Amino acid sequence: MIIFDKLWSTMKEKGVSTYQLREECGIDSKTIRRLRANDNIETKTLNKLCAALDCRVEDIMEYVAE
């Protein structure tokens, strides 16, 4: 299972809010809800997140065996 727990700590560390993701990075509120629920997201969203946070994909998500 892919989880996005690291996303929230990376956002806090970089001082980026969910509001900024929505307004400045074009990530809609539905996608934010999907991230919080560890649901599937598109790879283009991962690209946007990594660009917005200036980080690598492993800084925002990780695989955890079920």
Domain ranges of the chain: 2-63
Q: To which CATH superfamily is domain 2-63 assigned?
A: lambda repressor-like DNA-binding domains (1.10.260.40)
Is the dihedral angle over the CA atoms 22, 35, 42, 30 positive or is it negative? negative
Residue 30 has pLDDT above 90, yes or no: yes
Nearest to 40 by CA among 50, 30, 48: 30
The model's pTM is 0.88
**How high is the pLDDT of residue 66?**
83
Nearest to 7 by CA among 66, 26, 34, 44: 34
pLDDT band at 24 (very low <50, low <70, confident <90, very high): confident
Residue 9 has pLDDT above 90, yes or no: yes
Nearest to 51 by CA among 3, 5, 2, 10: 10
pLDDT band at 25 (very low <50, low <70, confident <90, very high): confident
